[in-house]
Amino acid sequence: MTHSNQPYIGRFAPSPSGELHFGSLIAALGSYLRARSQQGIWRIRIDDIDSTRCIKNADSQILNALEQLGFTWDGAVTYQHQHTNLYAEALERLLNNNQAYGCQCSRRKLKNLQGVYNGACRFLKLDPNQNGIRFRNTRQDNVIFDSVQGQHDISLPFAAQDFTLKRRDGIISYNLAVVIDDIEQGITEVVRGADLLDSTIHQQQLYLACDHPYPKWLHLPLALDISGYKLSKQNKAKPLDLHEPQKTLIQALNFLNQPTFAGMEELTPASILRYSIANFDVQSIPKKRK
Ligand code: GLU
């Protein structure tokens, strides 16, 4: 159940937890080239649902960096905090359909379960307004089909667990927010880093629970630091050097194994992107990078 025959709508959805770094540039560039090479729409959404991780002005720093790198996007930039009523409506629908339930388990208790929730609160009928909320998962599907990663099998206990929709502290989960946002914005393909591949199964299950076709998935190789960790704002990845945006773009193109040529750095960033759209080759994107 995926979209077909629809105009392509893609997006880049950075969290405003720091400045744009090389890892997030890969997600921006990959999603941009994929959308524009199909004459598609490319939207930007700032994923600021987890206010505890947001850093002041990181959103404008990210947008300025994208501008300096020659990116252009369609429509106004949206923010998850503008969508809180949509998340509340979705939660209410899921609760009314018995597809969600209140959960009182503390984070400490969950830590001991090593990433797979044991359904302890499933039949306790706890008040969802006074507790966290979980998806009542009745599905046994654990496979993702991805345009770069191919068939990706996820461990069944992880895939089939009752995952969080709303935390006990009231924060809407990433999985619920991203699905509701992508439905609202008509996204036909999600292009992002491969660190989100496993949680994609829960998003797919949520689309089905919302009676909505799920988008296509494309997970890009992750940029790792020299110790093999994902480059991320939490790992204090260096912000991009924007003094020479051309060089930065060429590095990112090399990372995605896209065509570049000697002297390319003489072009403007916008011209580099135009060339890269015209020569974009999804088949060349590696599954992983060292
Ligand atoms: N906001 C997430 C991040 O910055 C990406 C979410 C997504 O693309 O689905 O890692």
Residue range 217-229: mean pLDDT, rounded: 84
Whether residue 192 has its Cβ less than 6 Å from ligand 1: yes
Q: How far is the CA of 263 from the centre of ligand 1 (A)?
A: 33
Token pair recorded at residue 254? 């090399």
Q: How far is the CA of 127 from the centre of ligand 1 (A)?
A: 30
> What residue's CA is closest to ligand 1, atom 7?
13
Closest ligand 1 atom number to CA of residue 47: 1
Token pair recorded at residue 143? 């496979």
Q: Which residues contact 163 (CB under 8 A, 6 or more apart)?
A: 117, 134, 135, 137, 173, 175, 202
Average pLDDT over the chain, rounded to whole?
93
| Lookup result for tokens 């992750």 | 222
Whether residue 178 has its Cβ less than 6 Å from ligand 1: yes
According to DSSP, the β-strands at 41-46 and 78-79 are parallel
Task: Name the pLDDT band for 1 (thresholds 50, 70, 90).
Answer: very low
Confirm if 183 and 208 have CB atoms less than 8 A apart. no
The structural domains of the chain, with segments of one domain joined by +, span 9-284
Confirm if 66 and 43 have CB atoms less than 8 A apart. no
Query: What is each CA distance from 39 to 7, 10, 174, 267, 274, in whole angstroms?
Result: 8, 11, 29, 22, 12
CATH assignment of 9-284? Answer: 3.40.50.620
Tell which one of 192, 219, 235 to mutate to probe ligand 1, the residue whose CB is within 8 A of the most ligand atoms. Answer: 192
Q: Provide the pLDDT for residue 31.
A: 98
End-to-end CA distance of the chain: 34
Whether residue 218 has its Cβ less than 6 Å from ligand 1: no
Range in 80-94, 221-235, 242-256 with the lowest mean pLDDT: 221-235
pTM score, two decimals? 0.94
> What residue's CA is closest to ligand 1, atom 6?
13
